[in-house]
Amino acid sequence: MLNQTPLWKYLVLIFIIGICALYATPNLYGEDHAVQISAGRNATVDDALLNQVTETLATQGIASKSIVLDNQQILVRLTNADSQLIARETLERALGDDYYVAMNLAPDTPAWLEALGGAPMKLGLDLRGGVHFLMEVDMNSAVNKSFEDMVGDFRSALREEGIRYRTVRQVEGGVEIFFRDQDTLDKAEFFLRNRNRDLVFTEKNDLKIMVSMSEQKLAETRDYAVKQNITIIRNRVNQLGVAEPSVQKQGVDRIAVQLPGIQDTARAKEILNATATLEFRSVDLDHDVRDAVAGRVPAGSELVLNQDGQPQLLKKKIILTGNHIIDANSSADEYGIPQVNISLDSKGGSKMSQFTKDSIGKPMATVFIEYKSTGERDANEKLIFEAKREVISVATIQARLGSSFRITGLDSPQEAHNLALLLRAGALIAPIQIVEERTVGPSLGKENIRLGTQAIIWGFIAVLIFMLIYYKGFGLVANLALTLNLVMIVGIMSMIPGAALSLPGMAGIVLTVGMAVDANVLIFERIREELREGRSPQQAIHHGYDSAFSTILDANITTFIVGLILFAVGTGPIKGFSITLMIGIATSMFTAIFVTRAVVNAWCGGKPLKKLSI
């Protein structure tokens, strides 16, 4: 019998629509104005801080909906935007510079929905408000850092091969290696060329080899610097509790950072400036630190202050930088003493093993480096950065280390936790400077949401009225499918972790509302043609759906491919538009073809109809 849908198909359709509706539900509950508190490097978030925050707000008469400690952060939910602003200013004064106090918007999703993984759609910067930074990577520092690593690699390689050299030093544009005789130079050049085929070796006068990077190697170094900095910035922002950040490459040497929900530009800058470099260096035990403090610093060493302001005499030679760390976590040893467990990549493990085999029982220092802008610019109008170094840990090497080892000598579990956080986030390959900053206020975001929602509603109503008038009963079926289509778009957008709805994304939804009925128009017009050709209502419905399917599929696939291309090559708003467009195409095909067919079959299937309401 024509136009019959089996029960299992109805159950599948109901299940799919039900899941989408369930995960669309959190969007009905809205969000609370909130203040988020997280710890800086030398601070801790615990119950004592929770009590201090509670007492501070109560003393100032600031009403809160809830104050919760979770995942090393305190989230204060407030009643309105004015209370949020006052609470942030009050807590900043009370807590000082050791804590990050950021304004945010926290979803008001019920606990039972959160337990099922339900959360509202993520909103982009243009809808939610927040801050946008455009940051430029200092490529000169990235290249110089590669040359510094090259100096150490050449020294180790030549020593292992038994090739004697006079000196290896970094110069402008490369590395120079000096030898005592021509035979040794030739042997070394042959050896190093085979090991480093992406480098350029040029023999100079005075028994010297000049090593520089090929154009391809230079491009790879710069590209790696940007990609690594993107990873580190994203890790830092995530670790410090900023919700749903967007960190993307823009151009050759720039990074675009968007922090939705953050309204305090100064605080956001502090969060971004937490990115830094880590270095492992040996402690100079051959000289007295007091002599160095008095001004007699030995060659090859330098003074670096620790967290307590006490000087430490360290070797200038860098054992290892933080970019070789792939994982770090804090724990306690068999005696309950805090420690940090570190995992290195293969290259880092080799370097650490080579150094520590002759350094057992000697101390090794972990140096934390922040790049601060001096405010001055070079000849190319780039900001000049100054490195600020601080020793955050000195531990004794107890055995030859490899790709996995531990740092001890820490004062507390919290210090171990903070150090693991820093190591896990990695090392900034090169300094960055903010070349553009922009704040999008929450009021502008609300206005965008209001206007975008109005566009969707009016477009939706116009299509509903047209379909109802023009196609009568079948138009009512199409309207039901269109409503379900919107619910499914919202549900799927809420389920996808990386998807964020932006203003262009709302334009994509408006476009989808119009496109969603195209399939029904094709089907319904085909049914009308079949009726005009004298087929029975049941035959017209059957042929209408079957004949229009290939046309609908072809049209939507071509549009979907365009959406994929936009997603692949676009950035920011273009990606947002393409995501909603592709989701809308998939859901509109599902609802227009399968859902309406099931509804029409339930309404008309198997009945002796003489005419159709179409």
Domains: count for the chain: 4
The whole domain housing 375 covers 276-427
Ramachandran angles phi, psi of 108, nearest 5°: -100, 40
Give yes or no: residues 70 and 157 share one domain. Answer: no
Q: Check whether 426 has a pLDDT greater than 60.
A: no
Between 405 and 597, name the one with better pLDDT. Answer: 597
Give yes or no: residues 530 and 557 share one domain. Answer: yes
Give yes or no: residues 540 and 585 share one domain. Answer: yes
Give yes or no: residues 482 and 583 share one domain. Answer: yes
Q: Check whether 374 has a pLDDT greater than 70.
A: no
- The answer as to whether 120 is a domain residue is no
Q: Check whether 376 has a pLDDT greater than 90.
A: no
Give yes or no: residues 490 and 533 share one domain. Answer: yes
pLDDT digits (tens, 9 = 90+) for 22-42: 999 998 888 888 888 877 666
Give the CATH number for residue 495.
1.20.1640.10
Q: Check whether 16 has a pLDDT greater than 90.
A: yes
Out of 427, 454, 477, pick the residue that ends a domain.
427
**Pick from 7, 6, 27, 10: nearest CA to 18:** 10
pTM score, whole prediction: 0.63
- The answer as to whether 476 is a domain residue is yes
| Tokens found for residue 271 | 């969060």
Instruction: Give the Cα-Cα-Cα angle 569, 575, 579 (nearest 5 degrees).
Output: 120
pLDDT digits (tens, 9 = 90+) for 146-183: 888 888 788 888 888 889 888 888 888 889 999 988 88
- The answer as to whether 435 is a domain residue is no
Give yes or no: residues 61 and 152 share one domain. Answer: no
Give yes or no: residues 394 and 329 share one domain. Answer: yes
Q: What is Dmax (Cα atoms) for the chain? A: 107
Give yes or no: residues 355 and 464 share one domain. Answer: no
Give the CATH number for residue 285.
3.30.1360.200
- The answer as to whether 125 is a domain residue is no
Out of 179, 197, 218, pick the residue that ends a domain.
218
Q: Check whether 370 has a pLDDT greater than 80.
A: no
Q: Check whether 273 has a pLDDT greater than 70.
A: no
- Find the mean pLDDT for residues 490-510: 83
pLDDT of residue 127: 78
Q: Please provide the average confidence, as pLDDT, over all residues in the chain.
A: 82
Indicate the length of the chain as a whole number.
Answer: 614
Q: Which residues make beta-bridge pairs with 426?
A: none
Give yes or no: residues 471 and 517 share one domain. Answer: yes
- The answer as to whether 234 is a domain residue is no
Q: Contact at 8 Å (CB) between 409 and 312? A: no
Confidence of residue 13 (pLDDT cuts 50, 70, 90): very high
Give yes or no: residues 385 and 457 share one domain. Answer: no
Out of 427, 450, 472, pick the residue that ends a domain.
427
- Find the mean pLDDT for residues 30-59: 83
Give the CATH number for residue 62.
3.30.70.260
Q: Check whether 342 has a pLDDT greater than 60.
A: yes
pLDDT of residue 492: 92
Q: Transcribe 165-225 into DSSP letters.
A: -SEEEEETTEEEEE-SSHHHHHHHHHHHHHH-TTEEEEEETTTEEEEEE-HHHHHHHHHHH
pLDDT digits (tens, 9 = 90+) for 248-272: 888 888 888 888 766 555 556 656 6
- The answer as to whether 433 is a domain residue is no
Cα(first)–Cα(last) distance of the chain, in Å? 22
Highest mean pLDDT among 517-521, 567-571, 607-611: 517-521
Q: Check whether 443 has a pLDDT greater than 70.
A: no
Among 239-243, 325-329, 393-397, 463-467, the least confident range: 239-243
Which is it for strands 301-305 and 311-321: parallel, antiparallel or unpaired?
antiparallel
Give yes or no: residues 360 and 406 share one domain. Answer: yes
pLDDT digits (tens, 9 = 90+) for 522-545: 888 888 888 888 888 888 888 888
Confidence of residue 428 (pLDDT cuts 50, 70, 90): low
Give yes or no: residues 460 and 563 share one domain. Answer: yes
Q: Check whether 121 has a pLDDT greater than 90.
A: no
- The answer as to whether 259 is a domain residue is no
444-448 contact pairs (CB < 8 A, 24+): 444/126, 444/129, 445/123, 445/126, 445/127, 445/128, 445/129, 448/126, 448/127, 448/503
- The answer as to whether 456 is a domain residue is yes
Q: Transcribe 298-325 into DSSP letters.
A: PTTEEEEEBTTS-EEEEEEEEEEEGGGE
